A and B are shown apart, each in its own frame.
Chain A
C-alpha cells in the first residue's frame, strides 16, 4: 500500500532534437524552480485549478454546504443525484456532497504533514550527507537502505496498534518512512551542487558548512523539492484513504474519503452509484497532484535516441520520400565512389530548435581507395555529415536536401530498408568512444560472430573462424580469449580494434570513421592510425575520416574538406592544403596545431582562434567565420561562394583567398580579434600578456 517513492520512472518526453544541438556554454547545474513549467501543460493547469478549488471549497464548507455531515434524510436513503442531494446520499441518507467537502480539508491537511516530514527530513539528510563527507553519507545511506526494505504498510499498521488512529501522528510517521526514498532522490543532486565551483569559492570566503547548504545547495534543490512534494502529497492521500478504508480512519461518525468508499463497497449490489462521487473526487485530487509533479519534474532529454520510435521512423520515411520526389535523377558516378552533392541536414520542424540547419550545402567526393578528412572544430557539422552517409542521424534530425550518391543510388532519398542493405556491407562506421560503441551486455564473440553471420550469410562455425580472422587482422594477438570477454574487460585501444573488426565484418567499400582516435592514449592513437592505413592499402576501401586533428589528416588523408559552421570552407588535396592553405580558418587551424606544423616552419608560438563556433541558430548569412577572422573586412559581409582556389581541383570559400595567397600572411599568435591587432602592436603591456599565455 505504501508506494515506492525512490527515483520515480521519469515521465520524460520522447527524445527530441534539442539534445543533438551543440550545447550552449556551461549552464549552472542548479535547476531553479520555474513557475512557467507549471503552466506549460494543460494537465498541470487543470491540476492547479482543481486543487485550489478544492481547498477553497473545503475551507469555506461551513458557509455553503447544503447539509450538515450528520444530517440524515430518511426519505432519501442511498439515492442517486437529485435536486436536493446533488451527489446522492449514503445508507443513512446523509448528503454525499456535504460529507465529501467537509472532510476534504482534513484529508488535504494531514497529507501535508506527510509531505512536510518526508520531504523535509529527506532533503535535510541529503544535504547533511553531501556536506559532511563520505563517512556520514555511508551511515545515512545504510540506514535509509534498511528503511526502504521494510514492509511499510505492516509497520504503519503496527504503529496504529500502539498509538491508535491518531491521524496526524500516523501521517507524520509515514513521512519518516518515506523520507528514505526522498533522500535517495535528492542525494545525487545535493552532492553535485555541493561540489560546484561556486561552493568552493564560498568555502574560501569563510562561509560555514551550514551556511553553504542553506544558501547554495537548498535553492538548487527547490525544483526537485516541489516535484517530490506534489508526488508525496498524492501518495499521502492514497495511503490515508486506504487506512480509512480498512477501518483505521478518523473516529466514527466523522466522515473521511476512505471510510466513505468502504461504506460504498458494502452497497455494490444495491447502490453502485454510491462509490462514484467519493472515488472520483479522490482520484481527481491524486491526479491533480501527480500532474503538477510530473509537469515540474519533466526533464529535458539529455541525449537523442539512436533508434527513432516507429512513429518517428514513419515521419522520416515521409520526409525521405519527399526528398526523393524532388531530387534530380541521380547521375552516374563511378563504382564505389562516394559523391556528396549539396547536402543539407537540419532539425525536424517539431519540438525544440525546430528547423535549425546543422549542415548546409556540403559537397565532396571520395574515390575508391582514398581517404578524405573532414576537419573542423566541434559544432561544425562534421559528425552530422558523416552519420548522414549511413542514414544514422539521431532522431529529430534529418537530411533536408542534396544527394549522397553511392553505386547508382541516392542515399539521401533511400528508404530504411535500402539503407539496411548498404550499412555494414557497403558503408561501415566506427565511432569515437569504442567502449560505448560495443554492447556491454554481450560478449565480443556474440557481437562479432552474429554480425559476420548476418552480413556474410555464413554458418555459425564459419562465422566463428571468420571472427577470429578479423580480430587477428586488426592486430589482436590472443583473439580466442578476446572473443570470450565482455567489452568492459578490455582496454580502450583493444575495444577500438574490436569495433574496427565489427566494421570490417561485411567487407565494406567505404569506412566512415568519426574521430576514431580522439578518446585513446597517444601511443594507442598511432597504432590505430597505422592499422587504418594498412587496411586501406590491403582492402582498397575508402575512408571518410572525421577529425579535428590536422596531425591525423597529414598522416592519413589524401583529400581534406575543412568544415566551419556547417559548410565546407576549403576542399582539396591534403598536401596542397597543408602546405598552402587558402582559407583563413584553415590557416588558423594549422597555426593552432602543434603536430600539423612541419618541422622547418614550426613557429615559436602557437596561435589560438579566439571565440567559439557560433550556435547553428546564429549562423549569419555573411561569411560565417567573419566574427573570428583576423582578415575580416567589409567585403566579407555578403554570402561567400565556394570558388576554385587555383591549385588543382581545390575550392575555397573566402573573398580574400587570392590576396592571402599572394601576400603569404600568417595567422597571428594572439587571441585578440583582428580589429584589436593595431592596438596590440602599440601596447606592449597587452603583448606581454599574450606571450604569457603561450602553451608550455
Chain B
C-alpha cells in the first residue's frame, strides 16, 4: 500500500511538473514582453527594457524557470503585471469560490445522477426511456445557455435567487448558499445527466452478474439485491464518474463564473489571458493542475478502498 501511494504521488508530481514546464513555455510564447504588458501602450523602449531586466526576462529560459519553480514551491507565484498584486494571494482568495462552485455542483450532480440512473435501471420501461431522453437532452445543452434560462426563470421572473454575484461564506452563510444556488444548478444539469448515464450503465452491468442470480436463489429481497449488492458492485465506475465530473466542473466553472459574475479562478484565468498577464496565467494553470491531480489521487485511493480485490493486494 505504501509503495502504491508513493508511486502515485511521484506520478502526480511528474504531472504537475510537466504542466509547469508547459505553462512556462506557453507564457513565454505570449505576445509582448512583461515590461510592455505592465507599462501598457505608449511606454518608452527604455522603460520597458528596464522592467524586463528587473523581472529577469532576458535571463536564459532554464534559469528563469528554475527561479520561478523555486519561488513557487515556497508558495510565491510572482506578481501580477497588471495590478502588481501577489498572484498567490489573489488566487488564494479566488480558490474558495471555484472550489465551492465545483464541489457544490459535483455533489448535486452525484445525488441527482445516482438517483435518476438507479431509477432508470431499476424501473426500466417507460421510466427508463423518459430519464434517458432527458439525460440525452441535458448533456447536449450548453451550460451557459442553461444558465441564462435559469437566470431568466429563477432570478428575473420569480427572483428566488440572486442573478449574479458571490457572497463569501464568512460574510453570510445563508447568502453564500443563495449566491451559489444558480451557478451550481446550472452546472449540475450536464453533470447530473452524465452521472445518471454512467450509473444506469453500471447498474445494468451489475444486474447481469451471475451472483445476482445466487442472491435471488437464496430469497434475498429485491430491494436488498438492488440497493446493497448491485449498487455496491456498480459503485466503482460511479465513483470514477463523479471524480471525472469534479474535474470537468472545475474547468466548467470558467463559464459559470463569467455568467454569474463570480470572482473565482475561472474569471482570473479569463482576465489574465485577455490582458497577457503572464505570471497570473502561469499560476492559475499550475493551481488548477494541482487540484485536478489531487482529486485523481483521492479517486484512486477511494477505488482501492472500494474494491476488495485491490484492497487486499
Are both chains from one complex? yes
**Chain B contacts of A441 at CB under 8 A?**
229, 232-233, 308
Q: Could you tell me the distance between the alpha carbons of A35 and B126 in the complex, rounded to whole angstroms?
A: 28
A283 touches B145 (CB 8 A): yes
Chain B: CB-nearest residue to A416: B222
Contact B218 A306 (CB under 8 A): no
CB-based contact B219/A421 at 8 Å: yes
> A10 to B143, alpha carbons, bound, how many Å?
22
Nearest-neighbor residue (CB-CB) of A290 within chain B: B140
CB neighbours (8 Å) of A146 from chain B are 14-15, 18
How far is it, in angstroms, between the C-alpha of A651 and the C-alpha of B7 when the chains are bound? 68
Contact of B123 among A161, A269, A310 (CB under 8 A): A310
Contact A428 B142 (CB under 8 A): no
B168 at the interface (CB under 8 A from A): no
Q: What separation, in Å, do the CA atoms of A436 and B215 have in the docked complex?
A: 12
Q: Considering the complex, give the chain B residue whose CB is closest to the CB of A19.
A: B208
Stretch touching chain B among A115-123, A499-507, A674-682:
A499-507
List 10 contacting pairs A-B, 8 Å CB cutoff, sorted by A.
A4-B194, A9-B200, A10-B201, A146-B14, A262-B144, A283-B137, A287-B140, A306-B208, A306-B216, A499-B214
Additional pairs, 18, CB under 8 Å, beyond known A287-B136, A425-B219, A488-B312: A9-B198, A14-B204, A150-B15, A158-B27, A268-B152, A279-B141, A282-B145, A287-B137, A306-B216, A307-B226, A309-B123, A310-B123, A311-B126, A436-B210, A454-B218, A486-B309, A488-B308, A489-B312
Report yes or no: B219 in contact with A506, Cβ–Cβ below 8 A.
yes
Q: Contact: A151 with B217, CB < 8 Å? A: no
Given A153-B252, A247-B274: A424 and B217 within 8 A (CB)?
yes
B156 touches A (CB below 8 Å): yes
Per the bound structure, the CA–CA distance linking A486 and B312 in Å amounts to 9
CB-based contact B140/A234 at 8 Å: yes
Instruction: Let me know if B97 is at the binding interface, CB within 8 A.
Output: no
Interface status of A61 (Cβ within 8 A of chain B): no
Contacting pair A1 B254 (CB below 8 A): yes
A162 within 8 A of B: yes
The stretch from B41-49, B51-59, B74-82, B285-293 touching chain A is B285-293
Residue of B nearest to A14 (CB): B124
Judge if A38 is at the interface, Cβ distance under 8 Å: no
A227 to B288, CA, bound (A): 31
- Once A154-B288, A440-B309, A488-B308 are accepted as A-B contacts, the answer to whether A307 and B219 lie under 8 Å apart by CB is no
State whether A163 touches B15 (Cβ < 8 A).
no
Known: A307-B212, A441-B232. A283 touches B142 (CB 8 A): yes
Within 8 A of B (CB), among A243-281: 245-248, 258, 261-262, 264-265, 268-269, 272, 275, 279
Given the known interface contacts A154-B284, A158-B26, A440-B211, the answer about A420 and B248 at a Cβ–Cβ threshold of 8 Å is: no
- Which of the candidate stretches B64-72, B103-111, B170-178, B265-273 sits at the interface with the other chain? B265-273
A542 to B207, CA, bound (A): 30
Assess whether A159 is interfacial by the CB under 8 Å rule.
yes
Which residue of the partner chain A has the closest CB to B127?
A: A311
Q: A161-B273, A311-B123 are in contact. Are A151 and B247 (CB under 8 A)?
A: yes
Known: A159-B26, A287-B137, A454-B220. Is A279-B142 also a contact (CB below 8 A)?
Answer: yes
Shortest distance in angstroms between A381's beta carbon and chain B's nearest beta carbon?
18
CB of A137 to closest CB in B, whole Å: 17
Shortest A463–chain B CB gap in Å is 13
Complex interface bits, A309-321 against B, C-beta within 8 A gives 1, otherwise 0 = 1111010000000
With A and B bound together, what is the CA distance between A234 and B137 in angstroms? 12
| List of A residues within 8 angstroms of B116 by Cβ | none
Given A153-B252, A162-B30, A275-B149, is A242 in contact with B233 using a C-beta cutoff of 8 Å? no
B36 within 8 A of partner (CB): no
Contact A423 B123 (CB under 8 A): no
Check: B151 CB closer than 8 A to any chain A CB. yes
Q: Is the CB–CB distance between B140 and A307 below 8 Å?
A: no
Residue B230, interface by CB 8 Å:
yes
Known contacts A425-B219, A454-B219: A151-B255 contact under CB 8 Å: no
| B291 CB to nearest chain A CB (Å) | 7
Are A310's CB and B124's CB within 8 A?
yes
Closest Cβ–Cβ distance, residue B144 to chain A (whole Å): 5
Q: At the interface, yes or no: A657 with Cβ under 8 Å from chain B?
A: no
CA distance A471 to B221 in the complex (A): 24
B188 within 8 A of A: no
Q: Which residues of B contact A11 (CB under 8 A)?
A: 132, 136, 197, 201
Closest-CB distance, B274 to chain A (whole angstroms): 7
- Supposing A428-B217, A486-B308 touch, asked if A439 and B229 sit within 8 A by C-beta, the answer is yes
A283's contact among B126, B141, B255, B259, by CB below 8 Å, is which?
B141
Query: Total interface residues on A, using CB and 8 Å?
Result: 93
In whole angstroms, what is the CA distance A53 to B244 when docked?
35
Bound complex: CA A275 to CA B29 (Å):
36
A contacts, CB < 8 Å to B: 1-4, 6, 9-12, 14-15, 146, 149-155, 157-164, 234, 238, 241-242, 245-248, 258, 261-262, 264-265, 268-269, 272, 275, 279, 282-283, 286-287, 290-291, 294, 301, 303-312, 314, 390, 392, 420-421, 423-425, 428-429, 431, 433, 436-442, 451, 454-455, 486, 488-489, 499, 502-503, 505-506
Interface of B is mostly: helix
Give CA–CA (A14, B30) in the complex, Å. Answer: 52
Contact A312 B124 (CB under 8 A): yes
| A451 to chain B: closest residue by CB | B218
Q: Is there contact, CB below 8 Å, between A275 and B219?
A: no
B15-32 interface bits toward A, Cβ cutoff 8 Å, 1 = contact, 0 = none: 100110011001101110
* A154 and B251 form a contact (CB under 8 A): yes
Residues on the B chain within 8 Å of A242, using CB: 142-144, 254-255
A-B interface, 8 closest residue pairs, ranked by CB to CB distance from nearest: A309-B124, A311-B125, A153-B251, A429-B217, A311-B124, A162-B29, A151-B288, A306-B212
Q: Is the CB of A307 within 8 A of B216?
A: yes
Residue of A nearest to B202 (CB): A9
- Assuming the contacts A9-B200, A486-B308, A502-B214, asked whether A309 and B152 have C-beta atoms less than 8 A apart, the reply is no
Please state if B23 and A158 are interface contacts (CB–CB under 8 Å): yes
- Is B251 touching A151 in the complex (CB atoms < 8 A)? yes
User: What's the Cα separation between A151 and B98 when bound, in Å?
Assistant: 14
Whole-angstrom distance between the Cβ of A632 and the nearest chain B Cβ: 38
Contact A436 to B27, CB < 8 A, known contacts A157-B273, A455-B219: no
Residues of A within 8 A of B233 (CB): 439-441
B259 partner residues in chain A, CB cutoff 8 A: 265
Is A436 touching B211 in the complex (CB atoms < 8 A)?
Answer: yes
Q: Which of B31, B163, B296 contacts A149 (CB 8 A)?
A: B296
Q: List chain A residues, Cβ under 8 A from B202.
A: 9
The answer for the CA separation of A10 and B203 in the assembled complex, in Å, is 12
CA distance A151 to B137 in the complex (A): 25
Q: Does B128 contact A (CB under 8 A)?
A: yes
Residues of chain A within 8 A (CB-CB) of B122 are: 309-310
Interface centre among B148, B247, B250, B288 (most CB of A within 10 A): B148
CB of A488 within 8 A of CB of B124, answer no
Bound complex: CA of A387 vs CA of B217, how far in Å?
10
- Most chain B CB inside 10 Å of its own CB: which residue of A268, A301, A428: A268
Question: Which of B125, B149, B285 sits near A309, CB closer than 8 Å?
Answer: B125
Q: Is B15 a contact of A153 with CB atoms below 8 Å?
A: no
Chain A residues whose C-beta falls within 8 Å of the C-beta of B285 in the assembled complex = 151, 154-155, 158
**Complex interface: chain B residues within 8 A of A454 (CB):** 218-220
CA of A242 to CA of B266, assembled, Å: 13
Q: In the complex the two chains form, what is the Cα distance from A315 to B244 in whole Å?
A: 37
Given contacts A151-B292, A305-B208, A502-B214, contact A161 B14 (CB under 8 A): no
Query: Do A306 and B251 contact each other (CB < 8 Å), given the known contacts A149-B293, A154-B269?
Result: no
In the assembled complex, the Cα of A3 lies from the Cα of B40 at a distance in Å of: 37
Given contacts A150-B19, A305-B208, contact A161 B214 (CB under 8 A): no
| Shortest Cβ distance from A142 into B: residue | B11
Which residue from chain A places its CB closest to the CB of B276 in the assembled complex? A161
* B213 interface contact, C-beta 8 A: yes
| A residues in contact with B143, CB < 8 Å | 1, 242
Taking CB atoms, residues of chain A closer than 8 Å to B207 are: 15, 305-307
Whole-angstrom CA separation of A11 from B18 in the bound complex: 35
A420 to B225 CA separation, bound complex (whole angstroms): 13
